[in-house]
Structure 1
Amino acid sequence: MGGICSRKRNQQVIEDDFRRGVSGRYCRSGSSKWLGARSLRSMANHSPGGGTCPSLMDLCINKIREDFHKYNSFSILPRDISQQIFNELVDSHCLTEASLNAFRDCALQDVYLGEYPGVNDAWMDVISSQGSSLLSVDISGSDVTDNGLRLLKDCSNLQALALNYCDQFSEHGLKYISGLSNLTSLSIRKSSAVTPDGMRAFSNLLNLEKLDLERCSEIHGGFVHLKALKKLESLNVGCCKCVMDSDMKAISGLMNLKELQISNSSITDIGITYLRGLQKLSTLNVEGCNITAACLESISALAALACLNLNRCGLSDDGFEKFSGLTSLKRLSLAFNKITDECLVHLKGLTNLEYLNLDSCKIGDEGLAKLTGLILLKSLVLSDTEVGNSGLRYISGLNKLEDLNLSFTSVTDNGLKRLAGLTNLKSLNLDARQITDAGLANLTSLSGLITLDLFGARISDSGTAYLRSFKKLQSLEICGGGISDAGVKNIREIVSLTQLNLSQNGNLTDRTLELISGMTALRSLNVSNCRITNEGLRHLKPLKNLRSLTLESCKVTASEIKKLQSAELPNLLSFRPE
């Protein structure tokens, strides 16, 4: 749910769990134990209507966090308690260089400081003091230099390290990483320090299972130093234009490789042929590469493929007849190619498909008839295709569908009647101008919807009454519709909502904020391009779970939002204007 919802018809599709090579700034790294604990704690804090009494441990942790400035050291505490206090200070953005010193020699296992402001070599001194207890470190976006990396040499048990978007260390600093022989995960996205010579440091990391070098622009020729990494299962070199066919030849002997991201590189058909021997490869992303139908035969030889991304490769219908053997395929992305209905004939045998992306392909109603046998399909993207109302009769039988994108198609209100049988549908994207209140009425049988995107649909105040049918709805977008404060009266009854986008409904006033003040489960709210004023901000005080607030092009000021944040909304991390 973006800032002011300025969408374009050629907008690229971002897939949640199948990266297309252009991803966010950084991703978390850490031991599964730590991530699980943080996840559970987060759910407890933000569960809707939670009246559960906090545990004695949580009360103690919260008290210590409030008074943390009074303590010089937490090293006397058990490690798990010190870890929780550390995590809470990071999550609340209260950790400073001074307060960090209290965690010296605490034997912390996980230090997640990705994109945290002010992290530099001085912080690394305390981080490295955790010694052999330290298992995971993320200092992405920091100002750490070679000297800071040198301090990690005593953290011999380190398993996961993320240095994404760090530009203050050089290839010489990578030499200090070479001694961390227990590393299983290393991520250094968009770094000029990763050169062919710098990649020599990786040759000693024999336990490495995951290596992420996305957007590193100088790595061509360094792949020879990866030959010894026989345990490597995942390699991401997406968005690296420097990567060429010869680099694929260098890694062709990594027989344990299961995931390979080479999107938007300079790989051609020749480079793909070098991958034929990687029979454990289950995920392959070649989006935006200069390949032709000739390489599809090499891809079809990868019998273990479960996820394949061929978006934006300029492919036509030719060559897809070879795909009949890819019976393990569960996710297939063919978006922004020149394929037509004829291509879909060759997908009939892919009966294990759960995800199919045909965004902006030349697919029409009759082409969908060829998909009726894909009964396991859970997600189908048909945005910006030539599909209309009549084609939906073929989709109506895919009763396992959970996610359907019909944005920028010719589907109208009447066509939506055909979706009534898709009772498992959880997410529906209808950001099209031809959808009105009548279309919304045709969807009321889909009571299990969790996400509903009505961007640009002509929904009126009376039409919002139909939204009451969606008792499980967590994310709602009516961006650019025609609703006013009167329509929000119906929306406020959907107390399960955690994300709400009402931007570009120019008639909304401060009354809207008053009406939604009881929706305490909200974590993200966007009411941009409306008539909201500073006076209306007071109505947001009860929304204690709010983490993102967007009020661009409203009559509000950043200073007033900051006052609200500091006094009433402790969990608010992102707001605009800022």
Structure 2
Amino acid sequence: MGGACSRKRDHQDDVDDFQRGFSRRYSKSGSSKWLATSFTRPVMDIQPDTRNGPSLMDLCIRKICKDINKFKKFSMLPRDISQQIINELVYSGCLTDVSFEGFRDCALQDLYLGECPGVNDSWMDVISSQGSSLLSLDLSGSDVTDNGLIYLQDCKSLQALNFNDCDHISDHGLEHISGLSSLTNLSFRRNSAITAHGISAFASLINLTKLDLEKCPGIHGGLVHLQGLTKLESLNIKWCNSIDDADMKPLSGLTNLKCLQICCSKVTDFGITYLKGLHNLSLLNLEGCPVTAACLDSLAALDGLLYLNLSRCDLTDEGCEKFSRFENLKVINLGFNDITDAFLVHLKGLTNLESLNLDSCKIGDEGLVNLTGLQHLKSLELSDTVVGSGGLRHLSGLINLESINLSFTAVTDSGLRKLSGLLSLKSLNLDTRQITDSGLAALTSLTGLTHLDLFGARITDSGTTYLRSFKDLKSLEICGGGLTDVGIKNIKDLSSLTLLNLSQNCNLTDKTLELISGLTGLISLNVSNSRITNSGLKHLKMLKNLKSLTLESCKVTANEIRKLQMTDLPNLVNFRPGGK
């Protein structure tokens, strides 16, 4: 339980992060899409399993946590019990410096203290008392300083350390962890105080397999200290904008690297030549780097490459015929490049391709004919292209498609009929003003849909009747302004919903909250820019799983939401009211 889960994270996390990328849009006013970056706590790592109801042990643990101030010491308990108690305290947000003192000498294996309020150097003595039992520690977002890291010298068995967003740690502090030779995972994301000199402390961490230095702008020249870390499999130096070609040379000998993320750096085609010997590399993220099609010669040597991100690079149609050599690729992101329909012919032979991102490229209907043979394709991103209804006929045979994004395209209602046979579709984004009720009617055969984005589509109350076909929907966004309370009657029985965004529908009233009060699985709810008032909040009392509530530009005050949070919605961690 608890932090033990964090030690099981592996290459799949890098793949998931890669496929999400950072080009998704969060700018839509009132949209709940901001949630994708709001929840910084990996709650699932420490959340109790409640699928089968609480066990007797769970009930005991919760009782202890409720009465935590009555207990002074837990070291006499079995370690697994103490671990469950502290996990529950963290999950419930009840862990304090006083209650933490009770866990001195408990021989805990995992401490996730990331984002816990008040964590600073005074907590480090209790952490140190866990000694060689401690295997993973997360102090992300804490106020721990360089001096606090001295205490970790007693925790010789540490395997995973997370210091993301720790603003008070600098090169001096890194010296104190240089002796932790058992470390396999180390993360210092978003630290502007670490420099190339500080990276020298990592040279002795010979068992490191995963190192994350994302958004550490001062590390240029420091990668030379990683040359001896031959077990390293994953290196994340995204958004380290000082990194350039010279920093790539020390990586040329890290032949066990499987994942390398260097997006938004100064690395050019020349720098990529240093990577030609990394035959185990399966994931390479070059998003935002000033590379051109000339780098494809070097990349073609990477016979293990499965995931390639060249979004926001300097690609044009010229020279891209070399893409035909990447037959093993499963995922390729080419978004925001100056490529046209002529480019797509070079993808015809990539029959293993499962995910293709062409966001904001100059792709139209004619080029899509080159995708007809990609029978393994599961995900297709065509947002902000000039694809229209005519081009969708080329997609009708891609029977394994699970996700397609057609937002901000020229697709109309008539084109959607060509998608009606894609019965494997789970996620469909139709955020475009041309889509109306008629288009939604054409999709009723897609009963497996779990995510449907109609953010800007012109759906009315009449059109919501077609939503009844999508019984498995987990995420629904309808924000085109055409709904009233009448239309919500066709949404209230979609019991699988966890995210519901109805913002921008200015005619919705408190009746809407009453109607959806039975959607007890909801985690995120957005009804911004509507006529919701404080009086309607009482209907939300049954939504015990709600973590995010957005009611911007409504007649709702923060104080009333806080009252509801205290009495009925204990899991609510983010809310945006309409007033103070």
Q: Would you say same fold, with TM above 0.5?
A: yes
Residues 27 and 484 of structure 1, relative CA distance in 2, 3 Å threshold:
closer
Give 1:459's aligned residue. 459
- Map 1:440-479; keep pairs closer than 5 Å: 440-479=440-479
Q: CA deviation at 1:56?
A: 1.2
User: Structure 2: 5+ residue runs without aligned partners?
Assistant: 1-14, 24-35
Alpha-carbon distance in structure 2 between the residues aligned to 1:19 and 1:128: 37
> Which residue of structure 1 aligns with residue 314 of structure 2?
314
Cα distance in 2 for residues equivalent to 1:429 and 1:57: 43
Structure 2 equivalent of residue 564 of structure 1: 564
User: Given that residues 188 and 212 in structure 2 are in contact (C-alpha distance below 8 angstroms), is that contact kept between their aligned partners in structure 1?
Assistant: yes
Aligned: 1:87 with 2:87: yes
Name 1:11's counterpart in structure 2.
Answer: none
Q: Which moved more, 1:314-323 or 1:356-365?
A: 314-323
Aligned letter for 1:144? V
1:111 equivalent to 2:111? Answer yes
Report the AA paired with residue 525 of structure 1: L
Residues 113 and 139 in structure 2, CA contact (< 8 A), matched pair in contact too: yes
| Residues in 2 aligned to 1:325 and 1:107: alpha-carbon distance in whole angstroms | 53
Structure 2 residue identity aligned to 1:138: D
- Could you list the per-position Cα deviations for residues 146-184 of structure 1 after superposition, in whole angstroms to 9, with x for gaps in the alignment? 111111111111111111111112211100110110000
DSSP 3-state at the match of 1:211 = strand
Distance of aligned partners of 1:36 and 1:490 in 2 relative to their CA distance in 1, 3 Å threshold: closer
1:184 matched to 2:190: no
- Residue identity matched to 1:338: D
- d(CA) in 1 for partners of 2:290 and 2:205? 32
Q: Deviations over 1:405-442 (max 9, x none)?
A: 00011111111101111101000000000111111111
Query: Counterpart of 1:527?
Result: 527
Q: 1:132 to 1:116 in 2, by over 3 A?
A: same
CA shift for structure 1 position 292: 1.7
> Match of 1:308, SS?
strand
8 Å contact 2:459–2:480 — kept in the other structure?
A: no
Letter of the structure 1 residue corresponding to residue 74 of structure 2: F
Aligned to 1:7: none
Give, in angstroms, the shift of residue 231 of structure 1: 0.1
In 2 relative to 1, CA 416–529 (structure 1 residues): closer, same or farther, beyond 3 Å? same
Cα distance in 2 for partners of 1:493, 1:82 equals 42
Q: Residue type of the partner of 2:122?
A: A
Shift in Å, 1:25: 8.5
For residue 331 of structure 1, report the CA deviation from its aligned partner: 0.4
* AA of the residue aligned to 2:205: L
The amino acid of 2:98's aligned partner reads A
1:336 maps to 2:340: no
**Hey, what does 1:18 align to over in structure 2?**
19
* Secondary structure of the corresponding residue to residue 332 of structure 1: strand
Alpha-carbon distance between aligned partners in 2 of 1:131 and 1:395, rounded to the nearest angstrom: 58
Unaligned stretches of 5+ in structure 1? 1-13, 30-34
Q: Does residue 1:280 correspond to 2:280, yes or no? A: yes
Partners in 1 of 2:364 and 2:415 — Cα distance?
Answer: 14
1:353 aligns with 353
Shift in Å, 1:24: 5.4
* Paired position in structure 1 for 2:502: 502
Q: Match for residue 243 of structure 2?
A: 243
Are residues 1:292 and 2:301 paired? no
- Asked if residue 98 in structure 1 is aligned to residue 98 in structure 2, the reply is yes
- Equivalent residue letter for 1:463: G
Tell me the distance in 1 between the aligned counterparts of 2:124 and 2:396. Answer: 57
Asked if 1:73 is matched to 2:58, the reply is no
Matched, 1:483 2:500: no
Structure 2 residue 532 is the aligned partner of structure 1 residue 536: no
Counterparts of 1:253 and 1:28 in 2: how far apart (Å)?
35
In 2, are the aligned partners of 1:392 and 1:419 still within 8 Å (CA)?
yes
Describe how 1:12-161 pairs up with structure 2 within 5 A. Answer: 16-18=17-19, 20=21, 38=46, 41=48, 44-45=49-50, 52-161=52-161
Tell me which residue corresponds to 2:402.
402
Query: What is the CA deviation profile of residues 201-227 of structure 1, one whole-angstrom value per residue up to 9, with x for unaligned ones?
Result: 000000000011111111111111000
Does structure 2 retain, via aligned residues, the 8 Å contact 1:21–1:214? Answer: no
| 2:446 partner amino acid | L
Residues 1:378 and 1:327: Cα distance change in structure 2 (over 3 Å): same
**Distance in structure 1 (CA, Å) of the matches to 2:386 and 2:421:** 23
Give the Cα–Cα distance (whole angstroms) in 1 for the partners of residues 190 and 44 of structure 2. 28
Query: Matches of 2:520 and 2:389 in 1, distance apart?
Result: 38
Q: Separation in 1 of the partners of 2:16 and 2:152?
A: 35
Assess, with a 3 A threshold, how the Cα gap between structure 1 residues 553 and 237 changes in structure 2: closer, same or farther.
same
Aligned residue identity for 2:149: L
1:26, CA displacement in angstroms?
9.4
Q: TM-score, normalised by structure 1?
A: 0.93
Measured after TM superposition, the shift of residue 18 of structure 1 is: 3.1
User: 1:37, CA displacement in angstroms?
Assistant: 6.8
Q: Give the conservation status (yes or no) of the 8 Å contact 1:145–1:173.
A: yes
**Match of residue 550 from structure 1:** 550
- Give the residue type in structure 2 aligned to 1:354: E
Deviation per CA, 1:249-278, whole angstroms, max 9, x where unpaired? Answer: 111111101111010001011101111111
CA deviations over 1:50-85 (Å, ceiling 9, x no partner): xx5421111111211211121111212211121111
- Distance of 2:504 and 2:38 partners within structure 1: 28
| Percentage identity across paired residues of the two chains | 66
Name the residue aligned to 1:575. Answer: 575
- Letter of the structure 1 residue corresponding to residue 19 of structure 2: F
Q: Secondary structure at the match of 1:423?
A: coil
- Give CA deviations for 1:506-561 in whole Å, capped at 9, x if unaligned: 00111111111111111111111111111111110011111111111111111111
Corresponding residue for residue 3 of structure 1: none
Q: Secondary structure at the match of 1:86?
A: helix
Equivalent pair of 1:21/1:285 in contact (CA under 8 Å): no
User: Which SS does the other structure have where 2:186 is aligned?
Assistant: strand
* Residues 361 and 385 in structure 1, CA contact (< 8 A), matched pair in contact too: yes
Counterpart Cα distance in 2 of 1:227 and 1:215: 21
Distance 1:408 1:391 in 2: 15
2:189 is aligned with what amino acid? R
- Does the CA-based 8 Å contact 1:28-1:138 persist in structure 2? no
- Are residue 195 (structure 1) and residue 217 (structure 2) matched? no
Question: Is contact 1:331-1:355 (8 Å) kept?
Answer: yes
* Count of matched residue positions in the alignment of Structure 1 and Structure 2: 552
Please say if residues 202 and 226 of structure 1, whose CA atoms lie closer than 8 Å, have aligned partners that are also in contact.
yes
Determine whether 1:390 maps to 2:423.
no
* Runs of 4 or more above 4 Å deviation: 14-17, 21-29
Mapped contact 2:192–2:215 kept (Cα < 8 A)? no
